[in-house]
Amino acid sequence: MISKEERAAELYEVIRACRLCALAETRTHAVPGEGPLDAEVMCIGEAPGLNEDRQGRPFVGAAGQFLTELLAEAGLRRDEVYICNVLKCRPPGNRDPLPGEIAACAEYLDLQIDLVDPLVIVTLGRFSMARWFPQQTISRIHGKPKVVDGRYIVPMYHPAAALHQGALRQVLVEDFRNLRGVIARARRGEFQDAGAPAAVSAAPEPREAPGPGPGTRADGPAASPTAVAAPEQQGRTSDARRPAEARRPDREAPAPEEPRQISFFDQDL
Ligand code: URA
């Protein structure tokens, strides 16, 4: 059976070669994401910035430094968290992602979530928040966990927002401190909302929501949605630390597996 590592390697290779939208013309490196494939916590940012584009790694600039500090507030080391972005390529000038670009990248993120299958997803900023909370504003729901598809989704301000608006720094610190408790609940198999507003599980059409974002935005290519086929979701059958299916009653139990290949290579990428 194809291993998680092999799936990830294949996915990263596809992302690095992706030409589904015009950001492929301007990027230096695509930035698939990084972190352990059995991470309990996944952080999803917006898009690579200048440093990430140069290095091909997520959150390596000032916002990344602050993210590392915030994770420590939650009792996490950066290297135990899976970190990725809504967009895998840098929008020129760090402008906001365009709807077509988000659509083009959406299935890559779906595949990463399926692969890592985290207990807790932390969205960083409004673009990753909009995937689960399309009608919400970050100022209303930041820090409030919501159970979606058997895991916690926790919307947070983007760390870069605090670099521009000092007052948000303490808000982020508090929210990440509270994340400790959310992770502890998830580890105990307790998945209960703490009064957050309704969420959806389908990927929404992105919306213009007020809130912090790195952008100064202008141009942008149209993109067609990807047709990358999603592999079957893998359950955490081998993870003795976290018998996930037992702890997530609303998730599908893992199917008895046939060996299966990812079908990326059918695609005209
Ligand atoms: N901002 C993001 O949203 N992602 C990164 O990787 C870096 C900065």
Report whether 55 contacts 100 (CB < 8 A).
Answer: no
Report whether 61 contacts 51 (CB < 8 A).
Answer: yes
Cα of 102 to ligand 1 centre, how many Å? 14
Distance CA 126, CA 157 (A): 7
Cα of 142 to ligand 1 centre, how many Å? 18
Q: Which amino acid does the sequence have at 254? A: P
Average pLDDT over residues 227-240: 35
Q: Which CATH superfamily is domain 4-191+228-234 in?
A: Uracil-DNA glycosylase-like domain (3.40.470.10)
Predicted TM-score of the model (pTM): 0.78
Please tell me if the CB atom of residue 84 comes closer than 6 angstroms to any atom of ligand 1.
no
Cα of 199 to ligand 1 centre, how many Å? 24
221 pLDDT above the threshold of 50: no
Cα of 86 to ligand 1 centre, how many Å? 9
pLDDT tens digit string along 123-171?
999 999 999 999 999 999 999 999 999 999 999 999 999 999 999 999 9
The residue extents of the domains of the chain are 4-191+228-234
Residues near 228 by beta carbon (within 8 Å), at least 6 away in sequence? 14, 107, 108, 111, 264, 267
Q: Which amino acid does the sequence have at 235? A: G
Please tell me if the CB atom of residue 113 comes closer than 6 angstroms to any atom of ligand 1.
no
pLDDT tens digit string along 41-70?
999 999 999 999 999 999 999 999 999 999
Residues near 2 by beta carbon (within 8 Å), at least 6 away in sequence? 259, 260, 261, 262
